[in-house]
Amino acid sequence: MATAELRLSVPVDSARDAVGYALAEQGFTAQPTASGSLDVSRGSMGTTLVAGAFAGQDMHVRFDVHFSEIAEGTLVSFEHSTLGGFFKGGAIGAAKVGDVVREAAHRAGARLAQQGLLVGGVPDSPSDVGAGEQPAASGGTWAPPVPPAPPGYPGVPSAGDGSAAAPAYSAPIGDAQIGAPAYAASPYGTASAASDRTNGISILAIILGFVFPIGGIIAGAVALAQIKRTGEKGRALAITGIVAGAVISVLAILAVIGLLIFSFTVGSKVSSADPFDVPTSPQDGGVTVGPSEAAPGDEDTFTLPVGVCLDDVPSGFISSSNIVECATAHTYEVFSSFLLPEGAFPGDDAIASAAQQGCDAAFPSFVGIPYEQSALNYQYVAPTEGTWTDGDREISCLLYDPAVQETTGSLAGSAR
């Protein structure tokens, strides 16, 4: 669907050359296609992919200009892909591309009207520009004031007719040499004036680089593209914003990876080889089944003396049937046993704290090194509220090797 149309009073070939020249004056690159249309583009694809519709004047725009014969001469249709603008800049990008194309058609129409080639009116501009004004930079639609066309162009007298010679043009379109004019001195402001200003996006880039790293990288890329075009200061600021954003992003990723590794390592030690399906770290508590609580159907009660070895306890209850010789394969070895003071049941938390203190204190003398330096771990059995009523006051500390399922022989004095 055509975004804008122009009607020219010249044949198709002359119309193609004239429109191509008018677009080149606006900074577009116009390439003829095999079908006779023009493939027109402007802006940076890389900057647009990074910043989307916020790339400003550097937003990549591409559209087609088609030519067809009509009674007056040639119908010129400006067409663009809304889908392409959407992918590059989202909904805002699609709308901006449409505005840029309509503005390009408006400027081309005004230029061709000056040459006396336009039939009918100039297409409307999406910007509010008064008659005879050049629009301010906005949304990537700015273009420099239109210079005079070269001699010999349709509707333009030659230099021999008294007109001033026009600048030289390059980038051939069809049989004519058209493109951006090569100025000896720019009428739109000198380079030194531009270099006295610092690009605002570059300042934003260095701030975001330390506050919001991804934003600093994006803003830095946009600023570099703008500085390359405008000659403003701020290149070092933009680069610093990109570097700071990248470094901080990498450090944040490494910190997250390190935290995950630490959590996995600590969690592995806490959860390994736990036959009671409860945490095995003394800091996280232990099993609360008392040694004097009999297994289901067993009325005999007993205590666990130091040096006794036990096999696996899948039922969660310890009874005399779990006691084995330490010379055979076994899971646990009792390395300490002590009684809690008489009185009312102190509560599970108080019992867990007493068990950890007592087992920690007995660990070095039995194993040979402190718990923090040992590869071994321990579990404890303690009274429950129910067994406390039956007179159970004993806490037993059970030593085991979390790296293997069973051990053979005593671990006393192993210094492991």
Between CA 284 and CA 281 the distance in angstroms is 5
How far lies 414's CA from each of 146, 198, 363, 365, in Å? 92, 71, 11, 11
Residue type, 243: V
Residue 46 φ/ψ, nearest 5 degrees: -60, -45
Give the ranges where 37-190 is alpha helix by DSSP (H): 45-51, 82-114
The string of pLDDT tens digits covering residues 241-251 is 999 999 999 99
Please state the domain extents for the chain.
2-188, 190-271, 282-408
Residue ranges for the chain with pLDDT beneath 50: 83-92, 128-148, 153, 155-194, 269-301
Contact 379, 274 (CB under 8 A): yes
Between CA 385 and CA 388 the distance in angstroms is 5
Please give the span between the terminal C-alpha atoms of the chain, in angstroms, as a whole number.
81
For 327-330, the CB contacts below 8 A with 24+ separation are: 327/408, 327/409, 328/408, 329/406, 329/407, 329/408, 330/406, 330/407, 330/408
SS3 180: coil
The pLDDT value recorded for residue 47 is 62
Residue written as token pair 């989307």 = 52
Between CA 216 and CA 190 the distance in angstroms is 30
Q: Which residues contact 91 (CB under 8 A, 6 or more apart)?
A: none
Residue type, 314: P
Between CA 206 and CA 10 the distance in angstroms is 53
Between CA 114 and CA 8 the distance in angstroms is 12
Q: Is 192 exposed, middle or buried (0-12, 13-18, 19+ CB in 10 A)?
A: exposed
Residue written as token pair 């770290």 = 281
The pLDDT value recorded for residue 195 is 54
For 277-286, the CB contacts below 8 A with 24+ separation are: 280/377, 280/378, 280/379, 280/402, 281/377, 282/355, 282/356, 282/359, 282/360, 282/371, 282/378, 282/380, 283/356, 285/352, 285/356, 286/352, 286/355, 286/356, 286/379, 286/380, 286/381, 286/382
Give the strand order in the sheet containing 309-310.
Answer: 323-324, 309-310, 332-339, 394-400, 377-381
Give the ranges where 129-212 is alpha helix by DSSP (H): 191-195, 200-211
How far lies 155's CA from each of 112, 126, 176, 345, in Å? 9, 27, 15, 108
**Nearest residue to 85 via CA among 55, 108, 111, 115:** 55
Write out the two tokens for 294.
Answer: 């009999």
Kind plus residue range of the DSSP H or E element containing 407? strand 407-408
Beta bridge partners of 233: 198
Residue type, 240: T
Write out the two tokens for 255.
Answer: 């910190």
The pLDDT value recorded for residue 317 is 66
**Nearest residue to 321 via CA among 335, 311, 329:** 311
